[in-house]
Structure 1
Amino acid sequence: MTFSELFALVDRQVAEGRYPGAVVAVRHAGTTTVHPTGTLAVGGADPVTVDTPFRVASVSKPFGGVLALSLAADGLLDLDADVARWLPELADPQVLAHPDAELTDVVPAQRPITVADLLHMTAGTGLRMDESPLAHAMWERQVSPGPLPPSASADEWLGRLAALPLSDQPGAGWRYHTGSDVLSVLLARVTGRSVADLLAERVTGPLGLTGTRFWDADRLPVQYAPGDDGLEVLDPADGVWSRPPAFESLGGGLLSTAGDVCAFLGAIADDALPGGVRAADVLRDGLTDGQRAAAQTFLGPGRTWATGNLELTLEVTDPWTTTGRFGWTGGTGTSAYCDPSLDLVAVLLTQRMMTGSHDGPEEFWQAAHDAVA
């Protein structure tokens, strides 16, 4: 089995200028192949290599999910516990009377926010893509999800977020992203350790993932966003990710290589995660019917959000998907999924921001599926 057509597709997209450079990693039938193509910058001469670290954005989230489950497996974290035990800023939260209400039109939360709510994105806070007062307040206070990790310290960021009401009652809805960043703060406080140290000790170190970290001073590609005149620089090589972050964000702050992400998803598929973490727990559907219906507005039909902080396919709705497929995509132009029924793990890391739900790597996933189906 070869993936020559898949690699040729990405080579062609680089040649056409969609991506300055990209790295593909695929694992099938026990063999992993990594294919780099293009350059670190538009018009540059330095090539992308197999160990180029990319800003993986929301592909960070499953790493955070597995880290949390590792602590739970060791009895250091109770997923049903009130987060206020470690995050007193979130004790007795207030909730908007309705999602578009003024910030002062609030009611008490009917129950506490739990650790599981953070993993399941059901804490009542998260991405608002509307013109509501809360959406504007989150943006002004710099706690709204964006293409760059938070610039404030973890404690300052959480204080800003906690000063705002929740969008929904805890457990009543599903809102993307913010739970993962709150989880980052919680894990550090639970253990008294930095998130970077925890991740290296419990996940990346045992799995041999040497290219996964929160910053890299030497080897970063330029990150671009599509603009009216072509690709425009969003984060230069010596930008945000070239120095230690103020906030070690498991929502979107990691750098990783295609090989590392492929090996990480492969470890889930093989039920070979460290620290007693079981693949069944990572891939457990964490949502009720009502929560899942709310999530599908964002995820798309036939999909749910698993406890390991990743997307899980329940029903085939696109020709490149399979039931049980899991993984996730990052807004910086990264996408990584495993199809257990096809014995396939595939990863595409690029330096081009996606502009919306119809600007993803659908061609890539169709070609990957067709190569083994």
Structure 2
Amino acid sequence: MTAQTAAKTTAAPQSPPLPRGKPESLGLSPAGLQRLSDALKREVDKGTMPGATIMVARRGEIGWFDAVGRQSPASPGPMTEDSIFRIFSMTKPIVSVGIMMLLEEGHFLLNEPVAKFIPEFASQKVGVENNGKLELVPVERPMTIQDLLRHTSGVTYDHTGNSLVQQLYRESRLRSRKISNAEHAALVASLPLICQPSAEWNYSRSTDILGRIIEVVAGKSLGAFLTERILAPLQMAETAFFTGEVNAGRLAEPFPIDPWNGEKVVLFNMLEKPAMESGGGGLVSTTMDYARFCQMLLNGGTLDGTRIIGRKTLELMASDHLAPGVKIQGTLVPPGHGFGLGFAVRTQPGIASFPGSVGQFFWSGMAGTFFWIDPKEELFCVFMSQAPGQREYTRTLVRNLVYAAVE
């Protein structure tokens, strides 16, 4: 019986906490961190989010960990440090580390074609719009594993635009949690690319395809691989593609109608085991679990004496991989930033509208979660909430207030 199956009937052991220190001993202002919590409480009071958790760690110790508001708008219970969240695209960095672990074992090279592992991609075409019609043209060069990692594959998401290719995505079964990773990859391969590989940065289902490559190479399900190679070694005991009924009272939930955009919020059921283990957005986790992953990244690939990935491999992942001239579509990669192998990367001290350090890397989740790693300041931050509509505002708010507290 797998750990994920066992979670249905017995409570999983909670992850061991990271050490805690006094903010002032870590070069953090207690008053500044209190202002951070106060600002989040104001958002809760204004009704923009049900609740949230915030963790700031520096120099290997937690300097601030707070839970504000309610865990769910449907119940009076408070948000807690061990509430469980859908982390959506914060799954991507974990899967990206997983694929790079296989690279370190010599199973493939970054510039090898995806079709070597998933043959359906060998015949994929590029969709070019011409007078309102979609013309299919050959690829100029095959999509590579590196393209998947940096989102220059030509694969897309249906919710990031309304092109003819994205309309085909919407008409397909790609959003179904009832298809397997293999079926999902074959379905993506049957649809046209939105652009030539390497021509543009398009946020996409690329990491879902990486999850399928992991399955092909490792010979086991994505969930089994992640548990065996990353989650169990890091003692991330409560991170999986679903959680057990025993944890039903710990699930963070959103407002049914988003207070910022008035749209109905429909998120997946965390208690339901999906057929598709989405490498791009399927994991659920806790703040402490994800903090253990972040501390490993900040440590250069190790935690508590366990090495997950090589220091130089992680350095490659946290470097900008977008060549000059690559057009960045959308707003997810902010000005002054590029994109590496699974993370956005800050490349300039200015340009962006929020503070940070060159070399900082990060990503976020659609439901409102995000994290960042700042090697220069020996700092990481994890924010968890289930509040989709205001996620971009909250990311900037939290960044501003965390860096204001750095002394």
| TM > 0.5 fold call | yes
Q: Aligned runs of 1:275-294 on 2, under 5 Å?
A: 275-278=308-311, 279-291=314-326, 293-294=327-328
Superposition pairs for residues 169-208 of structure 1, below 5 Å? 169-208=196-235
User: 2: CA distance between counterparts of 1:215 and 1:123?
Assistant: 28
Give the superposition deviation at 1:253.
0.9
In structure 2, how many angstroms separate the alpha carbons of the residues matched to 1:100 and 1:298?
A: 29
Q: Which residue of 1 aligns with 2:14?
A: none
Counterpart in the other structure of 1:211 = 238
Give me the whole-angstrom Cα distance separating, in 2, the residues matched to 1:25 and 1:99: 49
C-alpha contact 1:125 1:175 (8 A) present in aligned 2: yes
Q: Deviations over 1:201-237 (max 9, x none)?
A: 11122222222111113232223451589785523xx
Structure 1 counterpart SS, 2:155: coil
**Aligned residue runs from structure 1 range 338-353, under 5 A:** 338-353=373-388
What's 2:16 paired with? none
Partner-residue secondary structure (3-state), 1:240: coil
Q: State the secondary structure of the residue aligned to 2:201.
A: coil
| Corresponding residue for residue 397 of structure 2 | 363
Residues 18 and 228 (structure 1), Cα distance of their counterparts in 2 relative to 1, 3 Å cut? closer
Give the match for residue 69 of structure 1: 100
Pairing 1:1-373 to 2, within 5 Å after superposition: 1=24, 2=30, 3-32=33-62, 33-98=64-129, 102-103=133-134, 105-127=135-157, 129-143=160-174, 150-217=177-244, 218=247, 219-224=250-255, 226-227=258-259, 233-235=265-267, 240-273=269-302, 274-278=307-311, 279-291=314-326, 293-294=327-328, 298-307=332-341, 309-315=342-348, 316=350, 317-354=352-389, 357=392, 359-373=393-407
TM-score (norm 2): 0.82
Greater shift after overlay, 3-12 or 333-342? 3-12
Distance in 1 separating the partners of 2:35 and 2:117: 50
Instruction: Give a deviation string over 1:276-324, Cα, whole Å, max 9, x none.
Output: 4322122122221122x425754121111111x0110001322322211
Which amino acid is 1:314 matched to? T
TM-score by length of 1: 0.89
CA drift of 1:188 comes to: 0.9
- Taking only the aligned residue pairs, the percentage that are identical comes to 28
Q: CA deviation at 1:52?
A: 1.3
Distance 1:24 1:228, change over 3 A: closer
Cα distance, 1:203–1:228 mapped onto 2, change above 3 Å: closer
Secondary structure in 1 aligned to 2:266? strand
**5+ long unaligned stretches in structure 2:** 1-23, 25-29
Paired residues, what number? 362
SS of the aligned residue for 1:160 comes to helix
- For 1:320 and 1:294, the matched residues in 2 are separated by 21
C-alpha contact 1:73 1:275 (8 A) present in aligned 2: no
Contact 1:142 1:150 in 2 (8 A): no
